[in-house]
Structure 1
């Protein structure tokens, strides 16, 4: 890879890129040209992103992954909501003789995409109207990955686009074109997806490229014990997530579980890292402490505490007696989760408790859930993980309204679920800890590099990718 500081042509191109971005920002955001000092600062920061990212490319050759893995380095891949550029299309031209990957945006045509890269109208029409590929090119969907190749005079030489059985290359040959289907390729890229909470975390995270599963891992596994996602977050709080993405024929096929993540709430940074211990994937802090707690204090979402632990007057029987658990008021049908890893001990009717489930967590520890409207698909003797849905809120038995009655027992003695403390899982140690620290260091270096590019500033999204490619036979 060329050193940007030793390549005058590339330095010139980067200056053009910055100027074009700034010009486009002026035209699109401030058409009347009246700028405040703050607006000038915003434009300067945004236009500098491309320059900073390109300058950082030589230092991004190591992918996040298991120690000892070897990944082939590729160029820094950026996906930023700022379009670069149409004010001076030539500033974003592909390097001569090098394939450049770009993605179709929502509502964008291939003609518009190629024009934005600085190719002349005649070249663009020659490729997009070729009779053998014209129909396929017109049907490309948003997100499709297109590769383009230009010569030293910036004349378009070839275009590659995805097809179900492989990738199609349309290449200029003399006065005509050559069309061929290339061998199907599968590529894995380790990326950092970053954004700010904005108005809604779910929408912002999906816009950043996280799958629904990734978001649930972030909120329900990694940070659920440290962050209250209902009340703690502000629009400026930010997240960064490391995942592996599998691409085939220019299409995103699969996204891995979260490998590492950071979440900044106010001035407090929370981090979590995936590591396989004893054949089971868990999330740990940077120090190797398991993030998962033995028990969830509140095994039901979207509920309020309606009755605490201790003596009280029963609302139906009218007598004062010990309330051996806590009650959470919630709507009928709200899912109830297992407070910890357990074996199902009982599922059925419990007299005044209505529909109940009892779980055995080992070591003399059991939990009890009552007044359910119905049960989930569980059976006695089944082993279930913490967070597994075991039933749904109802008002069966002696109940004045839909709620969950939840009890925690240790060797048959009732304990207050809100105050009982349990020993945390053993932290990583020995060789396991050494390997883990090596992985987390690389992951955090990736996250910090991305955040230096996009923060402070608005909620931009950056994907820093390093990749390995493997070919497979067609079909």
Structure 2
């Protein structure tokens, strides 16, 4: 069979369909490479020709007689795309090369197992295209993993329609013990120990009621946590679960907390060995990973140039860093507030209120009820500000007080039979904790 220049051009054109970038979405292409098949065929033919001039003037004479143009393109091609902000699944599929009718049919089938509206930014989707005829492809399969335990596939069946199915993966669950020594920051020490961001964030949240991470954590301090580890048969950590025991040693003083679910229907929480809930009315710091850049009291104003009373504290952080509600309450104000810029004020119980200023984005509305730790906006530099930071105020009976010095009311104190039950549970956790070797590095799958 003679392979003409026109046929070669057709093969290259078909291959180029799968080289064209899908804007914003394609993160990787993993496939049998049709372009390399064409390139190899050209190179093989060129090696047979005595000169370049002969190859160009008589191309058909040098092609192997057994070469079929259909062999230049693979039977199936894979594409991996990732969801970007503003993407819809319909747009992702059609931009990747699927026909709109196939895209719609695949999405309709997917709805039986997974709601496409729940796709998150960064979610990876693998698309398989199959040869439809000599020079075109059609969507054959779409697969995604909403979680490490679950994979959803949509596959074309003989009738031409699509059918969805899912695979649920089961993992082994056991407790793991991880700890380390802090050199510069708890975050860096946790990452060095192999902890993922969700575990670190939860660990910091547990201690955020009692520990000022900006001033109290020093080099040489230690941390340990005892948590659920979900791993596959090869021992690879696929996900992490609840922290059962959390401990920090700060300048020789140990803080140790246990997760406990009261038997009387009360809220599950972390408790001290004495049975007191770690939860306080307000968080010490409403932002993770920030540095304290300005304290409470008289200071020289960085913009106005003269001394003024600074009625809050400032935390330096990147624009967009999430800001959390320091406590449960009702939003009294959410909007622009002069030199404060974008501003939120929340009314809590017992005469307390908190305020958050210079925000880049507001995530709550006036009158809305919020829970402790809920994200209410993001760090910015709006209003009278020299750079991105959070200005944070605590008010008691309408007067600003120093957020770093106030002692907030504690949560529940376990007593009587409930405390006895807690003590037995915490002693059991301690025994299991001591009997579990500490991992030098958590082998995690991400």
* TM-score, structure 2 normalization: 0.51
Q: 2:355: which partner in 1?
A: 368
Identify the residue that residue 339 of structure 1 maps to in structure 2.
326
| Alignment correspondent of 1:447 | 433
Offset, 1:421: 2.4
Residue from 216, 226, 232 that aligns with 2:217: 232
Determine whether 1:191 maps to 2:180: no
| 8 Å contact from structure 1 (residues 372, 391) kept in 2 | yes
Is contact 1:450-1:462 (8 Å) kept?
no
Against the structure 1 CA distance between its residues 396 and 215, is the aligned structure 2 distance closer, same or farther, given a 3 Å change threshold?
A: closer
Q: Give distance in 2, aligned partners of 1:426 and 1:236.
A: 28
Counterpart of 1:257 (choices 229, 242, 262) is 242
Q: 1:400 to 1:238 in 2, by over 3 A?
A: closer
Task: Tell me the residue number matched to 1:32.
Answer: none
Q: Distance in 2 between matches of 1:222 and 1:325?
A: 22
The corresponding residue for 1:402 is: 388
Counterpart in the other structure of 1:466: none
Asked if residue 203 in structure 1 is aligned to residue 191 in structure 2, the reply is yes
**Residue 251 (structure 1) shift:** 8.2
Matched, 1:355 2:372: no
Q: How far does the alpha carbon of each residue in 1:305-326 deviate from its partner, in whole angstroms, 9 at most, with x for none?
A: 4444344554444565543323
Match of 1:217 in 2: 202
Q: Distance in 1 between matches of 2:208 and 2:383?
A: 36
- The 5 Å alignment of 1:79-94 reads none
CA contact (8 A) 2:209 2:282 kept: no
Counterpart among 377, 382, 385 of residue 368 in structure 2: 382
User: Contact (CA 8 Å) 2:210, 2:284: kept in 1 or not?
Assistant: no
User: The residue matched to 2:360 in structure 1 has which SS?
Assistant: strand
CA positional deviation for 1:439: 0.8
C-alpha separation in 2, matches of 1:440 and 1:427: 15
Q: Which residues in structure 2 correspond to 1:162-177 (within 5 Å)? A: none
1:413 maps to what in 2? 399
Indicate if the aligned counterparts of 1:240 and 1:447 stay in contact, CA closer than 8 A: no
- CA distance in 2: counterparts of 1:300 and 1:449, whole angstroms: 35
Q: Distance in 2 between matches of 1:301 and 1:415?
A: 21
Unaligned runs of 5+ in 2: 1-150, 152-167
| CA radius of gyration, larger in | 2
Q: State the secondary structure of the residue aligned to 2:367.
A: coil
Structure 2 distance, partners of 1:310, 1:260, is 38
Q: CA deviation at 1:274?
A: 0.8
Once the two structures are TM-superposed, the CA of residue 286 in structure 1 deviates from its matched residue by: 1.5
Matches within 5 A, 1:279-318: 279-312=266-299, 314-317=301-304
Shift in CA distance, 409/393, structure 1 to aligned 2, threshold 3 Å: same
| 8 Å contact from structure 1 (residues 192, 446) kept in 2 | no
Q: What's the Cα RMSD here? A: 3.9
Deviation digits for residues 200-221 of structure 1, max 9, x if unmatched? 4333443xxx554233222222
* Matched pairs, number: 274
Which segments of 5 or more consecutive residues in structure 1 lack a partner in the other structure? 1-163, 165-183, 464-475
TM-score when normalising by structure 1: 0.49
Contact 2:329 2:348 (C-alpha < 8 Å) held by counterparts? yes
